[in-house]
């Protein structure tokens, strides 16, 4: 087993790299006033380090006649070589110390990786964001597909003493345009999903896609596409992003859900072009009745396909 918590870069704080497509807004708006330690990494202007792709299998095949760009595929059995950072769904009610990188971990096994949040089982909400990134200036000349399998290795329990419970399971594709090649400068384009696995939540089992991050009402920023009660089975997912045609989709097992138009949001990350795929686990939001549980999600057999226009 290969155990990883984080990788530091000179001059860059790992905790603010990349950020989740998701904040707490779609799920926790009643609690926002009390979350004094909740952070939003999206709002911080930091340069994003380039992630090496050497640990993934990279293949190139067909060529687009219009652009002379080749189709590319990055793939792997586990998430070995991916970055592990804090996402933006963080909360530590007093007197708990703030959430740090020591509260998350991603473990690599022979045939899957386990993305873990709140590994010390404190009364906090922790957000493990494990991601794979490319700094390629041609990223917007491709359609992007992210395929993977995942499972939650335990059933959520409505038990205040449960050792394992989560808030959400999340994943997304993100393309960032710091040069304004497609639209406004510093705009990110996102295809994202969130599956609500908190057994106390009124949204338990909701499968959500990110649709309108700038909506005035925080509850309008996400759209429910299905109700799927959590289980311990492996599930297959595809996220698809076509920025030029402003469309995307989610395939969850055999069901397809359209995303049109794509979700878009400003991000002050600098004058570069980058793209990334993310896998995420957010531990359960602590209340007086429950909290202190670890969240674990297993991921395997991922592929990131770049298909030229």
Give me the pLDDT at residue 94, please.
Answer: 93
Report whether 206 contacts 193 (CB < 8 A): no
Kindly report the CATH number assigned to the domain that includes residue 85: 2.60.120
Question: Each residue of 77-97: pLDDT tens digit?
Answer: 999 999 999 999 999 999 999
pLDDT above 80 for 64: no
Average pLDDT, the chain: 84
Give me the pLDDT at residue 62, please.
Answer: 58
Give me the pLDDT at residue 211, please.
Answer: 92
Considering the entire predicted model, what is its pTM?
A: 0.84
pLDDT above 70 for 31: no
Q: What range defines the domain where residue 159 resides?
A: 2-308
pLDDT band at 199 (very low <50, low <70, confident <90, very high): very high
Backbone conformation region of residue 97, classed left if phi is above 0, alpha if psi is from -120 to 50, else beta:
beta
pLDDT above 70 for 282: yes
Question: Each residue of 246-258: pLDDT tens digit?
Answer: 999 999 999 999 9
Number of structural domains (the chain) is 1
Rg, Å, the chain Cα set: 18
Of residues 219 and 119, which shows the higher confidence score?
119
Give me the pLDDT at residue 99, please.
Answer: 98
Average pLDDT of 272-278?
97
Give me the pLDDT at residue 240, please.
Answer: 98
């Amino acid at each position: 087993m290969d155990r990883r918590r984080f990788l530091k870069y000179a001059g860059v704080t790992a905790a603010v790299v990349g950020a989740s497509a998701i904040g707490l807004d779609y799920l926790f708006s009643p609690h926002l006033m009390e979350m004094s330690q909740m952070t939003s990494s999206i709002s911080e202007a930091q340069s994003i380090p380039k992630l090496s792709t050497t640990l993934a299998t990279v293949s190139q095949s067909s060529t687009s006649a219009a652009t002379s760009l080749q189709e590319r595929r990055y793939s792997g059995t586990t998430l070995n070589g991916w970055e592990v950072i804090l996402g933006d769904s963080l909360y530590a009610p007093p007197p708990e110390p703030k959430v740090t990188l020591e509260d998350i971990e991603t473990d690599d096994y022979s045939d899957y990786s386990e993305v873990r949040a709140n590994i010390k089982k404190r009364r906090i909400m922790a957000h493990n964001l494990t991601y794979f990134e490319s700094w390629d200036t041609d990223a917007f000349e491709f359609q992007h597909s992210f395929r993977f399998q995942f499972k939650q290795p335990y059933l959520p329990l409505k038990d205040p003493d449960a050792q394992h419970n989560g808030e959400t399971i999340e994943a997304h594709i993100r393309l960032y345009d710091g040069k304004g090649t497609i639209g406004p400068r510093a705009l990110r384009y996102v295809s994202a999903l969130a599956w609500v696995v908190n057994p106390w939540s009124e949204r338990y089992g909701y499968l959500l896609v990110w649709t309108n991050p700038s909506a005035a009402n925080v509850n309008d920023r996400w759209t429910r596409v299905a109700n799927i009660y959590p289980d311990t089975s492996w599930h297959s997912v595809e996220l698809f992003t076509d920025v030029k045609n402003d469309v995307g989709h989610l395939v969850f097992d055999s069901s397809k859900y359209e995303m049109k138009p794509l979700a878009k949001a400003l991000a002050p990350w600098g004058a570069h072009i980058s793209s990334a795929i993310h896998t995420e686990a957010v531990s359960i939001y602590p209340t007086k009745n429950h909290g202190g549980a670890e969240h674990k999600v297993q991921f395997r057999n991922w592929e990131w396909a770049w298909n030229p226009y």
